[in-house]
Amino acid sequence: MASNLPMSPQLEQIHGEIHDNFRALANGFQKLDKIKDSNRQGKQLEELTGKMRECKRLIKEFDREMKDEEGRNPPDVNKQLNDEKQSMIKELNSYVQLRKTFMNSGLGNKKVELFDMGAGVSEPAADDNVQMASSMSNQELINSGVKTMDETDQVIERSKKVVAQTIEVGTQTAVTLKGQTDQMGRIVNELDTIQFSIKKATQLVKEIGRQVATDKCIMFFLLLVVCGVIAIIIVKVVNPNNKDIRDIPGLAPPAARRLLSVSTREQFK
């Protein structure tokens, strides 16, 4: 029995999970025979396909752990483990063939793929790669399983590269957005400074305008005063005997000169 095989705890756990999935597949296909509704059949078959995908992954993990422990196990133990792996691959392929039978007989065009290798793989191409388990040797089963696992590894690696590139692009985009955000912040600050300077300049222009208006008024009144003084001076000079105009201090008419008469001169003689 498989449970009597000498295994490490990791291999034993993986082995148990694989056989749990096999039991679930067996029960699922038995229930599938009793389901008459095509929609329910399709849903049940999708669930069973998911179980088969999980079995494929676990068998691959079982093979990896077995190879890691190969150097620590005796040759007969390695042979038993290898035979057990071949048996699990053979059993999985039998469920794959059973799935194909149900799809061809009852589900028509309902496409549910076990080994989904990407957008370029269609259902007929996948079915062509599935052979009857009874017509395949153990080595062929091993080679088929290893090939499928390798192809899955390649798909996973390509997916990892795409994810890494997406993360890198996202990081670069985030850095660019941060730089643009900082630049926008600096522009906003500069605009605030310019707006404040404009307000100060506007207030200064208004103050200068008020000062200029005040200076113009003062100059106008001074001009009126000067014109009035000039007018008065002109009138006094032209008509010095005009009593209606008061004498301007410092501009009084000259005093009348006294002329010595001839008689007075004679008296002195």
pLDDT for 6 beyond 60: yes
Q: Are 77 and 127 in contact (CB under 8 A)?
A: no
pLDDT band, residue 115 (cuts 50/70/90): very low
Per DSSP, 170 falls in state: H
% of the chain beyond a pLDDT of 90: 6
* Mean pLDDT of the region 137-145: 67
Comparing 140 with 237, which gets the higher pLDDT?
A: 237
**What pLDDT, on the 0 to 100 scale, is given for residue 266?**
52
Lowest-confidence range among 103-112, 114-123, 137-146, 185-194?
Answer: 114-123
**What pLDDT, on the 0 to 100 scale, is given for residue 89?**
92
Comparing 88 with 238, which gets the higher pLDDT?
A: 88
**What pLDDT, on the 0 to 100 scale, is given for residue 219?**
87
Model confidence pLDDT, tens digit, residues 118-131: 333 333 333 444 44
| pTM attached to this predicted model | 0.39
Contacts (Cβ under 8 Å, ≥6 apart) of 35: 41, 44
Per DSSP, 130 falls in state: -
Average pLDDT, the chain: 76
Comparing 142 with 231, which gets the higher pLDDT?
A: 231
Sign of CA dihedral 119, 122, 125, 131: positive
Buried b (16+ CB within 10 A) or exposed e, 164-203: eeeeeeeeeeeeeeeeeeeeeeeeeeeeeeeeeeeeeeee
* Mean pLDDT of the region 140-163: 79
pLDDT band, residue 86 (cuts 50/70/90): very high
Model confidence pLDDT, tens digit, residues 61-72: 999 888 888 888
**What pLDDT, on the 0 to 100 scale, is given for residue 59?**
92
**What pLDDT, on the 0 to 100 scale, is given for residue 31?**
83
pLDDT for 81 beyond 80: yes
Between CA 95 and CA 32 the distance in angstroms is 13
Comparing 201 with 137, which gets the higher pLDDT?
A: 201
* Mean pLDDT of the region 160-167: 86
pLDDT for 180 beyond 80: yes
